Amino acid sequence: MLKSLLTITHQEIVMTLRQAYSWITPLLFFVIVVCLFPLALGPDENTLNKVAPGIIWVGALLAIVMSIGNIFRSDAEEGHLDLLLLSAHPLTLLVLCKLISHWITHCLPLIVISPLLGILLHLNIHEESVLVISLLLGTPVFVLLGAIGSALVVGIRSHGLLLPILIMPLYIPVLIFGTGSMIAASANLPLASDFAMMGALVLISLAFAPLLTSAALRIGANQ
Amino acid sequence: MQTTPTEQTLVIDHLRFERNNITLLDQIHSTVNAGELLQVRGANGCGKSTLLRLLAGYLEPHDGAIFWQNKSITEQRECYQQNIHYVGHRNGIKSTLTVAENLKLQCALSNIRFEPTNAQAVLKKMGLQHITDKHAAHLSAGQLRRLALARLALTPNKIWILDEPTTALDTEGQTVLNELLTQHLTHGGIAIVATHQDLDKSHPTKMLHLGAANA
**Residue in B with minimal Cα distance to A19:** B96
**Residue in A with minimal Cα distance to B109:** A87
Give the sheet arrangement for strand B159-163, strand by strand: B84-87, B159-163, B190-194, B37-41, B205-209
B98 bridge partner residues: B135
Q: Which DSSP symbol is given to A170?
A: G
Residue B201 identity (one-letter amino acid): K
Please tell me the predicted confidence (pLDDT) of residue B27: 86
In this predicted model, what pLDDT tens digit does every residue of B21-37 receive, in sequence order? 888 888 888 889 889 99
Q: Which of B92, B106, B114 sits opposite A82 (nearest CB)?
A: B92
CA–CA gap between residue A41 and residue A35 (Å, rounded): 11
pLDDT of residue A33 exceeding 90, the answer is: yes
* pTM for this model (two decimals): 0.91
CA–CA gap between residue A84 and residue A11 (Å, rounded): 14
Number of H helices, E strands in chain A: 11, 0
- Average pLDDT of the segment spanning B179-205: 88
pLDDT of residue B214 exceeding 50, the answer is: no
Task: With CB atoms and an 8 Å threshold, state whether B90 touches A78.
Answer: yes
Q: In chain B, which residues have their Cβ closer than 8 Å to the Cβ of A84?
A: 109
**Residue in B with minimal Cα distance to A1:** B111
Please tell me the predicted confidence (pLDDT) of residue B6: 63
CA–CA gap between residue B69 and residue A141 (Å, rounded): 41
pLDDT of residue A28 exceeding 50, the answer is: yes
Across the A:B interface, residue pairs with CB atoms under 8 Å apart total 86
Q: In chain B, which residues have their Cβ closer than 8 Å to the Cβ of A89?
A: 109, 111
Please tell me the predicted confidence (pLDDT) of residue B106: 92
Percent of chain B with pLDDT over 90: 44
Q: Which of A80, A91, A222 sits opposite B58 (nearest CB)?
A: A222
In this predicted model, what pLDDT tens digit does every residue of A7-20 receive, in sequence order? 999 999 999 999 99
B32 bridge partner residues: B10
CA–CA gap between residue A144 and residue A68 (Å, rounded): 9
Mean pLDDT of chain B: 88
* Minimum mean pLDDT range among A121-130, A140-149, B117-126, B200-209: B200-209
- Average pLDDT of the segment spanning B108-134: 91
- Average pLDDT of the segment spanning A52-71: 94
Task: With CB atoms and an 8 Å threshold, state whether B92 touches A90.
Answer: no
Task: Give A 77-136 residues with CB within 8 A of chain B.
Answer: 77-80, 82-91, 94
CA–CA gap between residue A159 and residue A72 (Å, rounded): 13
B96 neighbors A18 (Cβ within 8 angstroms): yes
pLDDT of residue B1 exceeding 50, the answer is: no
pLDDT of residue B213 exceeding 60, the answer is: no
Give the sheet arrangement for strand B22-32, strand by strand: B22-32, B10-19, B63-68, B71-72
Please tell me the predicted confidence (pLDDT) of residue A159: 78
β B205-209/B37-41 pair status: parallel
Mean pLDDT of chain A: 93
Percent of chain B with pLDDT over 70: 95
CA–CA gap between residue B38 and residue B36 (Å, rounded): 7
Angle between helices A45-68 and A172-186 (to 10 degrees): 150
B206 neighbors B30 (Cβ within 8 angstroms): yes
Please tell me the predicted confidence (pLDDT) of residue B5: 53
The residues, ordered by sequence, that sit 6+ positions from B176 with a Cβ below 8 Å of its Cβ are: B125, B126, B127, B146, B149
pLDDT of residue B167 exceeding 50, the answer is: yes
CA–CA gap between residue A207 and residue A221 (Å, rounded): 23
Please tell me the predicted confidence (pLDDT) of residue A201: 96
In this predicted model, what pLDDT tens digit does every residue of A93-139 receive, in sequence order? 999 999 999 999 999 999 999 999 999 999 999 999 999 999 999 99
Q: Which of B85, B96, B107 sits opposite A15 (nearest CB)?
A: B96
Residue B32 identity (one-letter amino acid): V
A8 touches chain B (CB under 8 A): yes
Q: Which of B59, B92, B97 sits opposite A79 (nearest CB)?
A: B92
The residues, ordered by sequence, that sit 6+ positions from A199 with a Cβ below 8 Å of its Cβ are: A137
pLDDT confidence tier of residue B199, bands split at 50, 70 and 90: confident
Angle between helices A125-152 and A192-221 (to 10 degrees): 20
Residues of B with a Cβ under 8 Å from any A Cβ are 56-60, 78, 81-82, 84-86, 88-97, 101, 104-112, 114
Query: Which DSSP string corresponds to A114-132?
Result: HHHHHHHTT--HHHHHHHH
Task: With CB atoms and an 8 Å threshold, state whether B111 touches A74.
Answer: no
- Average pLDDT of the segment spanning B50-55: 91
pLDDT of residue B212 exceeding 70, the answer is: no
Alpha carbons within 13 angstroms on the beta-carbon side of residue A168 total 15
Task: With CB atoms and an 8 Å threshold, state whether B89 touches A79.
Answer: yes
**Which one of A14, A22, A86 would you mutate to disrupt binding with B, by most B Cβ within 10 Å of its Cβ?**
A86
- Average pLDDT of the segment spanning B82-110: 92
**Residue in B with minimal Cα distance to A90:** B78
Q: Which of B58, B96, B112 sits opposite A85 (nearest CB)?
A: B58
| Residue B43: other Cβ atoms inside 10 A | 13
Among B161, B170, B196, which Cα is nearest to B37's?
B161
**Residue in B with minimal Cα distance to A87:** B109
